[in-house]
Copies of this chain bind each other. A is one copy, B any other.
Amino acid sequence: MSLNTFGHLFRVTTWGESHGPALGCTVDGCPPGVPIEAAAIQHWLDRRKPGQSKYTTQRREADEVRILSGVYEGLSTGTPIQLMIENTDQRSKDYGDIAQTFRPGHADITYWQKYGIRDPRGGGRSSARETAARVAAGGVARAALAVLLPGLRISGYMVQMGPRPIDRSRFDAAEIERNPFWAPDARAAADWAEELDALRKSGNSVGAVIEVVASGVPAGLGAPIYGKLDSDLAAAMMSINAVKGVEIGEGMAAAALTGVENADEIEMGNDGPRFLSNHAGGILGGISSGQDVVVRFAVKPTSSILSPRRSITLAGAETEVVTKGRHDPCVGIRAVPVGEAMMACVILDHLLLDRGQTGGTRGRIG
């Protein structure tokens, strides 16, 4: 990762500010001959699009993606794919005061401290709007993975909103697409809806935990020691706006386990090793084991809220900040497709890296 680029061989560079004329990404290193259609990428963008329920920002963005390069007659050519999304709804008047004050919990102040200049319109580069570009890049990654790893499935969902986790015993994958929270637990979704209504009305916001699972990842992706699959996933998820924690498998809870509990025992299945549990989250020593790759990340509550908070102005005066504008009361909701996109990009990148170094050969067991 290097400033605005991530990935080793499949490399994505995003650009653009919340209220500039456009934003987008350059996807470099995509394998050639992959069917890429704007409509397919649009599908993923639409899942992330604001204004789809009362629980997300009412900002209306068409978020229409255009493919400007790297695709010829519907197929990737192996050259950089430029994906551009024009910003169409830029009510920057909403943000007038923002230029002179720093929102507590927001990157306003650190951008100013670092650069001595910042684009205050809609948070500029630090806006969650940047994640649209990642989702578009993820659409390209998914298209390539559909060719290279047809058995791969990536599924993201919310497992906690505020202090309330889902009940894993009620986990129902079919529920995920049925509620505005991408919750696999219908009852949790209903509870969250009620709670979020109340929070929104009181000018408050709340955090969330997202889980993203990739099934069908072959054993052998990742690399020691700093190119570990989990290191790259951690960096990828932590780079998403407002993320404060990342877990693989048991995550922080691994601390509380004993070695006897934590060891995922192995038996021999019909087509290779079979693990009896998945505390590891599908990654051992930085390398995928063939089990589901399981990542979770925590998204803090939106810092742009209507409740007044103490802060200071550019001139150093103390003040109270109330952030108007159209903000997500739980920005974690829209982080679900973003987390999926990052998972897709990282897995594709490691798939290419692995076949680069090893040629895809594998050690035989049995």
Contact = CB atoms under 8 A, between A and B. Distances in A.
Kindly name the residue among A244, A250, A266 whose own CB sees the greatest number of chain B CB atoms within 10 A.
Answer: A244
Interface string A43-61: 0000000000000000000
Nearest to A320: B265
Given A26-B15, A254-B244, A104 B264 contact: yes
Contacts of A361: 33, 116
Contacts of A180: none
A33 B160 CA distance: 42
B226 A256 contact: no
B16 A11 contact: no
Tell me how many chains of this kind the complex includes: 4
Contacts of A16: 68-69, 80, 82
Given A13-B5, A28-B3, A289-B109, A23 B69 contact: yes
Contacts of A168: none
Contact of A258 (B160, B162, B239, B280): B162
Interface string A247-263: 11111111111111111
Nearest to A275: B104
Nearest to A362: B113
A355 B103 CA distance: 26
A204 B248 CA distance: 22
Contacts of A107: 284-287
Closest 5 pairs between A and B when the two form their complex, measured CB to CB: A316-B366, A107-B285, A356-B356, A205-B259, A110-B287
B266 A363 contact: no
